[in-house]
Structure 1
Amino acid sequence: MTTSLSTKQRVQSIDILRGVIMLIMAIDHTREYFHIGAINSDPTNLANTTPLLFFTRWITHFCAPTFVFLSGLSAYLAGTRRTKKELSGFLIKRGLWLIFVELAIVTLALTLNPLYNAFALQVIWAIGVSMVILGLLIWLPLPVIGAIGLIIIVGHDWLNTVKLAPNSTEDVLMKIFFTARGTVFFLDKTHIVFALYAVIPWTGMMLLGYAFGSLYQAKYKPVNRKVLLIYASALLFLVFFGLRLVNAYGDPAPWSAQKNGIFNLMSFLNVSKYPPSLLYSSLTLSVALLVLALTEKSAGKLANFFKVFGSVPFFYYVLHFYLIRLLTMVVFFLQGFKTSQIATPNNPFLFTPPGFGFSIGWVYIIWLAIILSLYYPCRWFSNYKKTHKQWWLSYL
């Protein structure tokens, strides 16, 4: 069996990077629920955004692809402690569990609607389905898995040009698996599904992460791994910059000259997340690889702070959503809203009526309070996982 760093200890650069993105991610989720008017506005729409609002949203673009990529990398490391058959079974079961979590647990946190009139297919859904697919593919040679991931990342933008009959079976499947960008599907008159994460493009990132996991075999010296990660990071950034500069293939939303320099930069960086375009993937994964390369030997209080969150990402992810929504209920009544305003017509998210929320400055204050309040629960659970070996801990 291949030897890896994970057989001896956790790879701290992975935990640091994952911790950083988990905390950044909470900025956007806090903004979505606490920034006044957020439910009906797009902070990346250059026609009516501000630089602060734009970059508050844009910085969180790095979270989902890094999280998915690291899930693939972690799957490879988990495989060093299991046979192929054991790893395949584990990934398939954990993937199905994550799909259930998205539909039953995360959806409830998002909507606070116990009747489940709306389901949201987001990053946990994408990771769950991608894990099932990876669990089926791990029997292939590692270079083939990596090549499939690259082909998906590079080639799926072409599917945006494919036109199918609206609402046909083919059209629905194409959107769910390849092209969804906030697509709404009606299950019946009172139940809807928000398909935000088209599965297969994210699967490509997970497969690529799985292939990169091989760099953490014992045969790679840390200095050699660092060099390879930096070269890969530079290559991905050059792909992003070169294609973006000429508005060539790789993103359905070309950049254009704006009213001033900062808005020109915003337009250039405003790559498409839904579904994740080649340029979006190249830019975000470039930064992820660079951070992995530079933090492998990081130490100190700040690194340890990030590692706490990065070592229990699932626990933190679910907990932070429920804390955010608990706070929205408290603020709802403190701002003087009535129980008759809990539900808003044509809005599946309860406790978010028109006029609810604060300025962007208060959003940052609330975000800091949320992540700091979760530090000790996450540290406790991180220590619990290190000192206990129950089978169910591998699913959390």
Structure 2
Amino acid sequence: MQRINAIDFARGLVMIIMALDHTRELLHITSQTQSPTDLNTTTAALFFTRWITHFCAPVFVFLAGTSAYLSRQRIRNVALSRRFLLSRGIWLVVLECTVVSFGIWFDLQFRTLLLQVIAVIGLSFIILALLLRLSSKTIGLIGLMIILGHNLLDYLPLNNNSAVVQLIMPLFRSAVFPVTPQFTIVLAYPLVPWLGIMLAGFGAGPLFSLPVATRKAIFLKICLATFSFFLLLRFSNFYGDPATWSGQKNSIFTFLSFINVTKYPPSLLFTCLTLSVLFLVLAFAEDLKGKLVKIITIYGRVPLFYYILHWYLLHTIMLVVVFLQGYQWADLKFGVFQFGRPEQPSGVGLGATYLIWFSVVVVLYPFCNWFQKYKASHPQKQWLRFL
């Protein structure tokens, strides 16, 4: 089956944007002490630097579901498709706990186990593999029901001390588990809400078999419906996000409050807002031409390869920066929730953060371009599908 450029372009776009957030986390001077979305302390520029990256994870998870559907159509064998999803899912969880985890923390003792987007995609693949005998429509509807309904938990009178709640809630809410003073498991991406987004992406898979003009019209309608639904619920402050919006010190910050939806876990409004933009991109991506579009598409063809490389490159740059600022190896702090930054102020301003981000994306391009060509010219090497 021929690659669909709209999917690769959308995925490449969010992979590029994603690196901005990780550059900010590792290198921005206030990243250790200030939340960029706290309206009491942030600036508009810092807020948008963080907020724009909200689109990355839901787009990536949704398109992972779509790609799983297209893979099933290409293989045309449920047993083989299930085996591939199971093996890929297990591989992604292992990768998150090892190669990715070390890239994030640079901690040889692995004192922080952060389970986020790679792990949740892997776990979602495993569950999706068990659902493959259902129709894509049924799987998509299951995903839609999860997206629409998981925020109902916010209104249930739960006894948070009960054993059942303690066991089930990590499937729906982010959680931190201090196993020992020197080892903590962080469940940043709870399974159920993100599974809903992947299943919805799988359900949208058949749309990509339609003619481009028909697909464009459908995605535009879905975009308008999803965004209108977001506006209706957000204005009402009734349902869909635990963080309501309110009037602020000026109109700009009131707008920031309005769009400051909850990612951990992904609320209904967060999902509607981010996916409505994805549907808009998918509607027009096939019409986009030019060198820049081709470059962005390359990143989208090797997303996991790019994801791993960018963490290691960014973390290396972080160490270089703090050494250039006069710190010694003994000043670096590694451990639970620590990247290696010194306790004293270190890092760079927002302008330099953007410059480093852009440089990292540019530096990684030739590697991504080489790898996507290598994959395309060696289809017999099945292990390449895992990267």
TM range (shorter): over 0.9
Work out which of the residue numbers 57, 68, 82 in structure 2 matches 1:88.
Answer: 82
1:99 partner letter: V
Please name the residue that 2:198 is paired with: 206
In structure 1, distance between residues paired with 2:342 and 2:172: 31
CA deviations over 1:376-396 (Å, ceiling 9, x no partner): 000000110110020101111
Match in the other structure for 2:149: 155
SS at match of 2:172: helix
Is 2:304 the counterpart of 1:311?
A: no
Please point out which of 379, 383, 387 is paired with 1:392.
383
Residues 107 and 334 in structure 2, CA contact (< 8 A), matched pair in contact too: no
Give 1:19's aligned residue: 12
Identity %: 43
CA distance in 1, matches of 2:95, 2:107: 15
Q: Is the 8 A contact 1:117 1:348 kept in 2?
A: no
Contact 2:177–2:186 under 8 Å retained in 1 = yes
Name the stretch that deviates more: 52-61 or 140-149: 140-149
Contact residue 100 and residue 308 of structure 2 kept, 8 A? yes
Q: Which residues of 2 match residues 344-355 of structure 1 at below 5 A?
A: 347-355=337-345
Match of 1:266 in 2: 256
Paired letter, 2:192: I
Tell whether the 8 Å contact from 1:312 to 1:378 is kept in structure 2 after alignment.
yes
Q: For the residues of structure 2 that align with 1:106 and 1:187, how far apart are their CA atoms? A: 20
Displacement after TM superposition at 1:240 (Å): 0.5
* Distance in structure 1 (CA, Å) of the matches to 2:241 and 2:99: 33
Moved more, 346-355 or 193-202: 346-355
In the alignment, what sits opposite 2:36? Answer: 43
Q: Which residue of 2 aligns with 1:215?
A: 207
Paired with 1:318 and 1:346, the residues of 2 have a C-alpha distance of 21
- State the Cα distance separating 1:189 from its structure 2 match: 2.7
Checking the alignment, whether the CA contact within 8 Å between 2:90 and 2:122 is kept in structure 1 is yes
Deviation readout 1:215-257 (Å, 9 max, x if unpaired): 122xx22111111111111111011000001112100000000
1:103 to 97, 101, 104: 97
List gaps (5 residues or longer) in structure 2: none
Name the amino acid aligned to 2:179. Answer: L
Q: Which amino acid aligns with 1:107?
A: S
CA drift of 1:105 comes to 1.1
The alignment's C-alpha RMSD in Å is: 1.4
The residue matched to 2:40 in structure 1 has which SS? coil
Shift of 1:163: 5.3
1:4 counterpart residue number? none
For residues 12 and 45 of structure 1, do their structure 2 counterparts lie closer, same or farther at Cα, with a shift above 3 Å needed?
Answer: same
Deviation at 1:144, TM superposition (A): 1.2
Q: CA deviation at 1:40?
A: 2.6
Match 2:189 to one of 187, 197, 205: 197
Corresponding residue for residue 362 of structure 2: 372
Between the aligned partners of 2:152 and 2:186, the Cα distance in structure 1 is 23
Q: 1:30 touches 1:366 (CA, 8 Å); kept in 2?
A: yes
SS at the partner of 2:180?
A: coil
Which segment is superposed worse, 160-169 or 143-152? 160-169
Per-residue deviation, 1:345: 7.6
Preserved contact between residue 344 and residue 353 of structure 1 (Cα < 8 Å): no
Q: SS at 1:179's partner residue?
A: coil
- Are the counterparts in 2 of residues 17 and 292 from structure 1 also a CA contact under 8 Å? yes
Q: Residues 336, 201 of structure 1: CA spacing in aligned structure 2 closer, same or farther, 3 A cutoff?
A: same
Q: Counterpart of 1:343 in 2: which secondary structure? A: strand
**Per-residue CA distance 1:270-329 (angstroms, 9 max, x = gap):** 000000000000010000011001011322101101011000000000000010011111
Question: What is the letter of the counterpart of residue 391 of structure 1?
Answer: Q
The correspondence of residues 138-287 of structure 1 with structure 2, limited to 5 A, is 138-162=132-156, 164-166=158-160, 169-180=163-174, 183-217=175-209, 220-287=210-277
Q: Distance in 1 between matches of 2:201 and 2:101?
A: 27
Question: Relative to 1, partners in 2 of residues 1:278 and 1:70: Cα closer, same or farther, differing over 3 Å?
Answer: same
Give per-residue Cα distances to partners, 1:190-229, cap 9 Å, x unaligned: 2101111111101101000001111122xx2211111111
Is the Cα contact below 8 Å between 2:112 and 2:336 reproduced in 1? Answer: no
Deviations 1:313-365 (A, max 9, x none): 00000000010011111112111112221126864322353311011111001
SS in 2 for 1:42: coil
1:119 match: secondary structure: strand
Question: What's the CA shift for 1:176?
Answer: 2.4
When residues 345 and 105 of structure 1 are mapped into structure 2, their CA distance, relative to the original with a 3 A threshold, is closer
Residue 350 of structure 1 aligns to a residue in which SS? Answer: strand
CA distance in 2, matches of 1:379, 1:229: 29
- Return the match for 1:289 from 276, 279, 295: 279
CA offset at residue 34 of structure 1? 0.6
8 Å CA contact 1:33, 1:352 repeated in 2? no
Deviations 1:143-180 (A, max 9, x none): 21011000100000111334555566434433421011
- Relative to structure 1, the CA distance from residue 346 to residue 187 in structure 2 (aligned partners, 3 Å threshold; closer, same or farther) is closer
Letter in 1 for 2:223: S
Task: Provide the residue aligned with 2:65 in structure 1.
Answer: 72
Letter in 2 for 1:201: P
Instruction: After superposing the two structures, state which structure 1 stretch, 39-48 or 283-292, moved more.
Output: 39-48
| 8 A contact 1:159–1:179 mirrored in 2 | no
Deviations 1:5-26 (A, max 9, x none): xx1x210011111111000001
